[in-house]
Amino acid sequence: MENTDMKQIQWFPGHMAKTRKLIASNLKLVDAVVEIVDSRTPLSSRNPEMDRLTSGKPRMVLLNKSDLADEKATQRWINYFSSIGVTAIAVDCKSGKGLKSLMPTLKAKVLRELMEKRERSGMSGAAIRLMIVGIPNVGKSSLINRLAGGKRAKVEDRPGVTRTKQWVKIDTGAELLDMPGVLWPKFDDQSVAIRLAFTGAISDDILDIETLAMKLLKFLSESYPQSLRERYKIEFDDSDDGLSLLEKVGRKRGMVVSGGEINTERAAITVIDEFRSGKLGRITLELPPAKEKLCQE
């Protein structure tokens, strides 16, 4: 995906530095790191430094919002993570689906050695301490609320809002370290930023809404043509560019202004909203790297 009109994304290197330090100093307090990513963008919704920041600690990946992602693609991501030695499971923190297997998987796969050691020393009842990490909007608060049962206040993690770290006990014998601070994804890669704007993970101010919708429609026409046809009852082929697709959607929905022109802004808002709320079906925006690439890693 190419884009030349992208506005500068504001980010906060000072906050990142602080968060890095916090992760480093708290890592020794936990048994494992649980990293939450968005199933629709499992690589784009990660902080690329996470591997280095948490190296040496057992780690598990939760592919959250799996209710919105393509199931086959999610399975490919689970296989991909497994191929690089990381246990990943698909979850939906909104409904709670998949969360039941979190602790059993952690104990059986990620923390097997520790569990065996504790068993031998008669400490198997000790709480498992987990650090929860993830970029904003991936579902950290939803996960913690689900696991802790009962509603906890949503804690702001916007830059500039200070909060302290806190431990949250969950009844499956674990304690979660809810980390303050913000870890951003890799904004300097434009295709990453565009995927995150599609899902609403970052502000859609980075692009005007029409450009964003055109890019999304082009992607869908190539990767999920059936979803596009079913939702909007439009016909298209390879020769349709993003604008032509957007106009087709607008025309079909009767979004016409005086003079017969299509109101492409309204059409764009509709497409983006419907994609984000899952009305276009279950869609994944990126697939795991090819095998050849994997081998080089």
Q: Which residues in this chain contact ligand G4P in the complex, by CB under 6 A? A: 64-65, 67-68, 92-94, 134, 136-142, 154
By C-alpha distance, which of 65, 56, 131 is closest to 98? 65
**Closer of 93 and 196 to ligand G4P (Cβ):** 93
Q: How far is the CB of 94 from ligand G4P (least distance, A)?
A: 4
For 91, 144, 147, 283, the CA distances from 96, given in Å and listed in that order, are 7, 11, 9, 20
Closer to ligand G4P by CB, 71 or 119: give it: 71
Task: For ligand G4P, give the closer residue by CB, 79 or 95.
Answer: 95
Edge-to-edge strands, sheet with 166-170: 87-90, 59-64, 32-38, 128-133, 174-178, 166-170
Residue among 123 and 161 whose Cβ is closer to ligand G4P: 161
Q: How far is the CB of 24 from ligand G4P (least distance, A)?
A: 21
**Cβ neighbours of residue 108 closer than 8 Å, sequence gap 6 or more:** 115
Residue number with CB closer to ligand G4P (103 or 114): 103
Rounded least distance, CB 88 to ligand G4P, Å: 15
Q: How far is CA 278 from CA 8, 9, 89, 232, in A?
A: 28, 26, 20, 14
Return the bridge partners of 36, or none: 62
d(CA 35, CA 27): 13
Residue with tokens 């993570």: 81
Give the up-direction half-sphere exposure of residue 161: CA atoms within 13 A in the CB hemisphere.
7
**Separation of alpha carbons 162 and 18, rounded Å:** 11
CB of residue 49 to ligand G4P, shortest distance in Å: 17
Q: Could you tell me the smallest distance in angstroms from the CB atom of residue 23 to ligand G4P?
A: 16
Q: How far is the CB of 246 from ligand G4P (least distance, A)?
A: 24
Comparing CB distances to ligand G4P, the nearer of 128 and 201 is 201
